[in-house]
Structure 1
Amino acid sequence: MKPFSFIYYILSAGLYILALPLLISLSFKKKYQESVPSRFFLFNNPRFKNSNGIWFHVCSLGESRALKPILEKVDKENVKITTITHTGHNEAKKYGVELRYLPYEMFLPFWIRPQRMLIVLEAEFWYMLFAVMSARGGKIVLLNARISDKSVKKYMKMGWFYRRLLGYVDVVFCQSEIDAYRFETLGAKNIEVVGNIKLAQEIKENKEYEKPAGLTIVAASTHEGEEKIVLQGYKEYIKENKAKLVIVPRHPERFESVYRMLLEFCRQNNVELSRFSEDKSLSTQIVLVDMMGELNNIYKISDIAVLGGAFKEDVGGHNPLEPAYFGCRIITGKHFHDQKELFKYVHHVQYIENGELFSALKEAQNLPPSSVDEKIDLDRVIKYIKS
């Protein structure tokens, strides 16, 4: 092990020891009860069975989904996938390949089997992962690589570290020209701009529901604090207009707290509320969708999509391609920095401040549906993977 890698390893081990009480505590929380024991204690998380395969590493749900058009064009017999989050893990199960959680860096020198190629999506930059994989002769590819506007200063301040990390990378397939420039500044080599691979995703519903009469507004992938913004705008809007509101929180562990908030709002405003899990219908004026995997089905029967994740600075927005595909008129906040590349391809979007939802809902009636015109050609990526 090289001196820098050895020092890094010792520091990672020390951090692990310090964090043990927190990790043990998180292991008992529903959100982390599978991922934390697997990643930090190797519980039910053995090494891959075989070597010399193609290993994809992704973080969460969106990146797991983005793999589908690529996996359809490669031989899946020796494909392996690692994930970070529980939702990403569940999505990756659909591919029927060897699947693991990525262990904490301290374990990687003992856990990793040599593979022909490691393909890392977006910004999953783990130093020990790259160093160990490179030392064992595998190619390292960054796919859909990006350095967001929000994080670029951090990368540049830590440039000495990222130059070492990127020195292990064989090729970078990045989302945009500005990403290419940032990677080049950090010392990356063999950089190609291929666009955002999420443009290659097949978007479709998996169930059909009857569209309610009148206007339907979906507040999609909302985070803490965003439901209140939506309810304030909706309250003003229904003083003059009739509309149904469907709320789909991003994280399932928030279903109960959001339900309690909606219950209080509905009592105060004499509005009917229902939970989608109970009767799978949109019969009441406000509906909480407290189930996973239903968002595309809801987009298909909605007129306006208030896309969450962009009304708070710390999230970075969510994928606009899905509501645009189903022709929703999209309203979102101005903090969509992590999805900026995707929003470039979506037309007729309203970007608003937190207090402007009422006026945006009124304006949405006069706008054409949002749409996506662009496609991406994955041939260069597939050719490299197969080489």
Structure 2
Amino acid sequence: MKGRALPLTLRLYRGASAAASLLAPAWLSYRVRKGKEDPTRLAERRGHPSAERPDGPLVWVHGASVGEVISVLPLIERLDQRGFKVLLTSGTLTSSRVAATRAPPGVIHQFVPLDARGFIARFLDYWAPDLVLLAESELWPNLIAELGRRGTPVVLVNGRLSERSAKRWARLPKSARALLSRIDLCLAQSEEDAERYRSLGTPRVEICGNLKFDVPPPGVDPAELKRFGLAVGKRPVLLAASTHEGEEGAIIEAHRIITSRIPDLLTIIAPRHPERGTEVAELAEAAGLAPRQRGFDEWPDADTGIYVADTIGELGLFYRLAQVAFMGGSLVEHGGQNPIEPAKLGTVVLHGPHVWNFAAVYDALDTNEGAAEVADAMGIARAAYALMQDSQLQGHMADAAFATVTALGGALDRTLSAIEPYLIQIRLEAR
């Protein structure tokens, strides 16, 4: 692995990314204007540290965005309990906020550097991790190649590779093999994921299951839950969670359809990217509704039909208030959002047809009648209305969803067992 030559495609990528790194300041400034970067921490994206490296063995855990960070938090907590210092990186503002509020106190968070060789080398020179745990499918060529050159062990945890991504990699078989051969161990979510990684040249693959099943349900401030509950009263609540552009219009239309029979319905829309809150509110206003926004510290009143939950880390509150939750990213071709959290909290899950990001999870939920697929606004309206009118059906689906996700747990313990030899090794080397 160390010193192994890269194929031409990866050498070209390396050269192109080095040239592009000259434009990094302009690119990062553009992202700041779009609200996608923290202007006070831009140096981290070029590999400059903003925190002190702790003494002793360091485990670097990386998750791209909110979902990946949440999935590895229980793993990080176990590492922290065993005395390992942990560096957690991610690439989005929302994930950094989740890390700040939910990671153990001693965990250091940094934004992951852009995948240019100079930035990666600077980052690794400073942090010098003893073990790297990459979540799901974070296969950045310069990062993987540089870690391989340095001989740093790399484990892919909660490994996931969609059929679509596998086909793309299969068009560049030499590049795929060159990168994946530098992964010391791949801990795949499912047999399908494992087979895709093996077929592309990953040398050691084990199946550990999905870490997301072992994530505890999101917490909530009891006082805030009580306060919000009083504001909502006995009104039925439909939640549209983690929605993407192109979906909120369907949710608003579904709300209009349902209110012809349930006039006091409250529909809460929580966009995946909170900065889109005003955009979502404007859609509701254009539909003749009077929305209110959480981001402006507004509360729903008796006249509020659409409530825009444009804040970070509060889905635990809204899942507990809603009888039905439509999971976003599934009416549009995004691949769906994680349904495990609402299932654990007894909220019935609806989803669109595009759920390949969590295909196995949704398949299990649908098969066990713990979730239902809908195709459009009318489908959402019909399903939500039926559930709100039939408490027995609602309870059956909620119980089935909870039983399904509970039965699929155990990935955390299997993952810890699989990485145990690496943890022992870095302990011995530290001595």
Same-fold status (TM-score > 0.5): yes
Q: Which residue number in structure 2 is paired with residue 359 of structure 1?
A: 382
Letter in 2 for 1:327: G
1:134-153 aligned within 5 A: 134-153=148-167
Aligned to 1:382: 416
What's 1:342 paired with?
361
Q: Partner of 2:307: helix, strand, or coil?
A: strand
Aligned with 1:88: secondary structure?
Answer: helix
Q: Does 1:369 align with 2:397?
A: yes
Equivalent residue in structure 1 for 2:132, among 107, 115, 118: 118
**1:68 matches 2:88:** no
Distance in 1, matches of 2:325 and 2:361, equals 16
Offset of residue 105 of structure 1: 2.4
- AA aligned to 1:165 is L
| Paired amino acid for 2:16 | L
- Partners of 1:156 and 1:43 in 2: how far apart? 34
Residue 21 of structure 1: CA displacement? Answer: 4.0
TM-score (norm 2): 0.81
Q: Distance in 1 between matches of 2:108 and 2:326?
A: 37
Match in the other structure for 2:19 = 14
Match of 1:82 among 64, 69, 89: 89
Offset of residue 47 of structure 1: 8.1
Match for residue 197 of structure 1?
Answer: 211
C-alpha offsets along residues 350-373 of structure 1, whole Å, 9 cap, x if unaligned?
111124222222333443333232
Cα deviation for residue 60 of structure 1 reads 0.8
Q: How does 1:289-328 map to 2 (within 5 A)?
A: 289-313=309-333, 315-328=334-347
Query: What is the distance in 2 between the residues matched to 1:45 and 1:28?
Result: 22
Structure 2 CA distance for partners of 1:79 and 1:359, relative to 1, 3 Å: same
Offset of 1:227 from its aligned partner? Answer: 1.0
> 1:226–1:311: 8 Å Cα contact kept in structure 2?
yes
Q: Are 1:150 and 1:337, in contact at CA under 8 Å, matched by a contact in 2?
A: no
Change (3 A) 1:28 1:278: closer
Distance in 1 of aligned mates of 2:272 and 2:385: 25
2:352 corresponding residue in structure 1: 333
| Structure 2 Cα separation of the partners of residues 138 and 219 of structure 1 | 42
- Cα deviation, 1:47-92, whole Å, max 9, x if unaligned, reads 8455742111111111111122212222354211111111112222
Query: Structure 1 residue 14: deviation in Å?
Result: 1.9
Alpha-carbon deviations, 1:190-247, whole Å to 9, x = none?
2111111000101143122326313211111111121100111221121122322111
- What is the rounded CA distance, in whole Å, between the counterparts of 1:175 and 1:35 in structure 2? 36
Partner of 2:242: 221
Structure 1 vs Structure 2: percent identity of aligned residues? 25
1:108 equivalent in structure 2: 120
**Structure 1 residue 386, shift from structure 2 partner:** 3.3
Number of residue pairs matched?
Answer: 382
Show the counterpart of 1:275: 293
Q: Deviations over 1:261-293 (max 9, x none)?
A: 22232xx3xx55333343445643322223222
Calculate the TM-score normalised by the size of structure 1.
Answer: 0.90
RMSD: 2.5
Cα shift at 1:18? 5.7
Paired residue type of 1:357? I
| C-alpha separation in 2, matches of 1:301 and 1:27 | 34
Counterparts of 2:298 and 2:13, CA distance in 1: 53
Higher helix residue share = 2
2:253 is the counterpart of 1:232? yes
